[in-house]
A and B are shown apart, each in its own frame.
Chain A
Amino acid sequence: MYTAQIRELIKKVEATRSARLGSDFPRMTPEQREEVLKEYHPDYKEKGFRKLRIGVNQGDKVPLELADVLEVKSRLGNIELDLNKVHYDVDVLIIGGGGAGASAALEAHQKGANVLIATKLRFGDANTMMAQGGIQAADKPEDSPAQHYLDVMGGGHYSNKKELVQALVKDAPDVIKWLNDLGMMFDKEEDGTMVTTHGGGTSRKRMHAAADYTGAEIMRVLRDEVLNREIPVVEFSPAVELILDSDGKAAGAVLYNVETEEYLIAKAKTVIIATGGAGRLHYQGFPTSNHYGATADGLVMGYRAGAELIFADTIQYHPTGAAFPPQIFGSLVTEKVRSLGATPINSEGEQFVFHLETRDVEASAIIRECLGNNKGIETPTGVKCVWLDTPLIEMMHGEGTIEKRLPAMYTMYKKVGIDMRKDPILIYPTLHYQNGGLLIDEHGQTKIENLYVAGEAAGGIHGRNRLMGNSLLDILVYGRRAGTHAGQKSKDVEVKELKLDHVNAYHQSMEENGIQTDETSPMILPHYTHGRE
C-alpha cells in the first residue's frame, strides 16, 4: 500500500503519462553506454573486489564476498572421513536440482547411465523456478541463429567464448521443441505460432514465455519428468567437497545431510556441478532476487579441485528489483514488464533511459539517476529508487494485459496492496546473476577430467553480460550437453582410489600464502537476522 506521501509523488508520473505514451525515447550511443557503465556499474567499483591469493586464478580480481568463501578452509578440515565407506555408487552424480541439473539428469539417463541428483534444498528449489520473463530461441522466419549470435556477443561486450555461444544459439530451437514435447505450455497464437517479445539488447522478438511463470513452468515439467523416469534424488544433502581419484580425476563428492548432520560419500564416474549462482553472498550489500540456496557452493568446490574461474568479476544487477514495500524488497520485477512497454521514470515524471537497453546499461542508468542526478524517489525506509510506469502497458496493449501476461507480478503487487495496472511501481537494481563461473567447453567439461559444469555455475557463455532469456536457455543447452556427454563418457571410466588430497593441498597453499583463518566454506545456507540486535 502506498503512503499518502508516495501517492503525492505519483501525480508527477501521471501528469506526463499521456505525453510519453507512444513517444520513442532514444537508445544510447555506444559511447554513452560505455560512459554510464564506467561511472555507475558496481563492477567498476574497485573497492568491491580483491585479488585472489591462491588457486588457479591467483592474481585475478573477484568480489570480496566471493574471495571470502574461496580463501577459507574446507568444512572437512577437521573431520575424519572414511572414503571407502561409499553410500552412493553411481555413473553420473549431479550436484544441484534446478533446471540445469534436471535436464542433465534426463539426458544422462537417456544414455543409459545410472544417475543420482543430490540437492541442497528440495528438488526444484532453484533460480530456474523464479525466472519469469522468458527463454530466447531464434525459431521465427525473420530471425536466425546468426542474428541471435550477434546479439549475444554484443550484449557480452565481445568477451564471450565463441564456440560456447555457437552451441547456445544452435541448440536453442531444439530446446524449445524438447520442452514443448515434454508438455510445457508455451504462450502461442491460435495457429501455433509462438508469442514472442523483445528483451533488453535483442534485435528480434525471440523471447518465448509461459506467461511470467516461464522458469516455474520449465522446472515443474522437468521435475515431473525426472520423477517419472524414477531417477533418484536425494534432497537436503548438498555436496560440500568434490572427491578426486588417485589420478586426479573427478570421482564423486562428499554430501552433507543438513538434517542429520551426517557426511555421506557419493562415488561416481562423472560429476556435474549444477549448483547455480551466488546472489545470497550479497555482493556490495545489494539485495538479491536469488533463491535462498544461491551461495556459490559449486564455485567453491570446483575451485578447490582446480577448475578455472572466468569472468568471476562480472555480476549482473537486474535493473528492476522491487524497492517498495519492504516485504518484497529485492524481489524481481521481470524484464517482461519493460518488454511490454513499461518505462523507468524519475521523480520529475521524466523518462531518462530507453527502457530496453542491455541489463548492465539499464541498471547503471537507474543508479545514475538516483545517485548522480539526484532524481530518485526515497521510500519511507530510506531506499532510493525510480518509478517503473506499469499503467503504460494496458494503455498500449489493452485492458487485461497485465493479468494475462504478467500474472505473477500482478499477484505479488496485489498482495502488498498495490495495483500495478493503475499505479506505477518503485524499483532499483537487485543482484541477479553471475555472468561468469567455472570455465567449460562446449560439452560442459572443465579441465579436470570427468568434471562438468552446467547452468549459472558455468562461465564463458555470456561473456561479461548476459541478455534476458539466455539463462533459461543456457541451463538447458548446457544441462543437456553435459548430461549427454557425461552419461556417455561414464561407460568408459574406471574410478581409482577416492582421495581428498586436493583439499589438503589447498590448505597447504593457504598456509604458504599467509592466509590464516578458521572460517570454512561452502556456506550452504545464509544466516539472516533482519536487524535483530
Chain B
Amino acid sequence: MSNKEMVDIYILGKKYTVPASLTIMDSMEYAGYQLKRGCGCRAGFCGACATIYRIKGEKELKVSLACQTKVEDGMYLTQIPFFPGDKKIYDINKLEANADTMAQLYPEIYSCIGCNSCTKGCPQDLNVMQYIAYAQRGELEKCAEESFNCVMCGICASRCPAGITHYQVGILARRLNGKYIAPPTEHLHKRVAEIQEGKHDASLKELMSKNTDELKELYNSRDIEK
C-alpha cells in the first residue's frame, strides 16, 4: 500500500484516505462500506450509483456515476441512490406517437425554463434539454435517438427547477418510436407466421433425431455466411 498515491475524500462528510486509482464506488468499499444502495452493474449501464460531489475549495456541485468516476483529493461526496421521479402509467397500445401524447402524460415539459441544468448533470453526456425540446415539439424520433444512451440514473430530474422527470419522457419517446415510427420488419413477421404454421417443425424434428456424430458432421461442414 505504501507506494500508492493516496488522496483524502469525505464520504458524507467523514474523512477517509484512499488510493487515488480507485473509482468513487471502490473507494467507499475501501473505506469499509458494504454497499447496499447505490451500487448495481458497476459498469455504467444501470444508473444505480448517481453521486453528487464538490471538491474542497471549489463552489461547483458536480454529479456523476460512482462506478465511472475516479476519486479526487478533497472530494466531498454523497450518493443519490433513489430519486422520487414521476412515472406515468399508460397502455402503449392505446397511444399515438405525437406531441399530444407527450402533453397529456408529461405536461410539465412545457415548463422548461432552458436553464440546461439537466444537460450539465448528465453522466452520459446526453443533451437532455435538447431531447426535452424534441418531445415538446412532438419530434419523437429525434427525442428517442438523443436520449438513447440514458441509464435513468435520475440526476437530470434531481436538478430540474421545473419538476420534469426527463428520463421518463425519454423512455416514452423511445417506446413510441420503436413501436410506431420505426419501419415494420417484413422478414420478421413472415418468419413468425411460418413457425406458427408449423413450417419449420419437420426440419427441426429431423435434426433432433440425429446422434452426436451425425450432428458433428453437419456442424463441421455447415456453410458460413460471409
Contacts and interface: CB of A to CB of B under 8 A. Distances in A.
Interface of A: 30, 121-122, 124-125, 127, 129-130, 138-142, 144-147, 149-151, 153-154, 158, 162-163, 166, 169-170, 173-174, 176-177, 180-186, 188, 190-194, 198, 203-205, 210-211, 213, 215-217, 220-221, 224-225, 227-228, 230, 236, 258-259, 289, 291-293, 326-328, 331-332, 407-408, 411-412, 415, 525, 527-533
B185 A194 contact: yes
B90 A150 contact: no
Given A146-B207, A228-B91, A221 B40 contact: no
Given A129-B41, A145-B203, A216-B46, 5 more contacts: A170-B200, A185-B182, A225-B92, A331-B42, A531-B1
B149 A411 contact: yes
B89 A530 contact: no
Given A158-B212, A188-B185, A220 B219 contact: no
Interface stretch (B26-34, B108-116, B158-166): B26-34
Given A158-B215, A170-B204, A185-B174, A532 B32 contact: yes
Interface in B178-226: 178-180, 182-189, 191-192, 195, 200, 203-204, 206-208, 212, 215-216, 218-220, 222-225
Contacts of B187: 139-141, 193-194
B156 interface: no
Contact of A138 (B23, B125, B191, B206): B191
A156 to B, nearest CB: 11
16 contacts: A139-B192, A146-B207, A154-B220, A173-B195, A180-B179, A180-B185, A183-B175, A184-B175, A291-B46, A292-B41, A327-B22, A332-B43, A408-B44, A415-B44, A531-B1, A533-B1
Given A142-B225, A228-B89, A183 B177 contact: yes
Given A190-B183, A291-B40, A292-B40, A169 B191 contact: no
Nearest to A169: B204
B85 to A, nearest CB: 12
A528 B179 CA distance: 42
Contact of B174 (A158, A183, A188): A183
A408 B148 CA distance: 11
Given A125-B41, A203-B224, A291-B40, A144 B200 contact: yes
Nearest to A204: B225
B151 interface: yes
Interface residues of B, number: 72
A181 B219 CA distance: 34
B75 interface: no
B155 interface: no
B70 interface: yes
Given A121-B40, A169-B204, A185-B182, A177 B188 contact: yes
B8 to A, nearest CB: 16
Interface of B: 1, 19, 21-23, 26-27, 29-30, 32, 34-37, 39-46, 48, 68, 70, 87, 89-92, 124-125, 144, 148-149, 151-152, 171, 174-180, 182-189, 191-192, 195, 200, 203-204, 206-208, 212, 215-216, 218-220, 222-225
B37 to A, nearest CB: 8
Contacts of A151: 219, 222
B188 A173 contact: yes
B4 to A, nearest CB: 9
A125 B225 contact: no
A311 B7 CA distance: 46
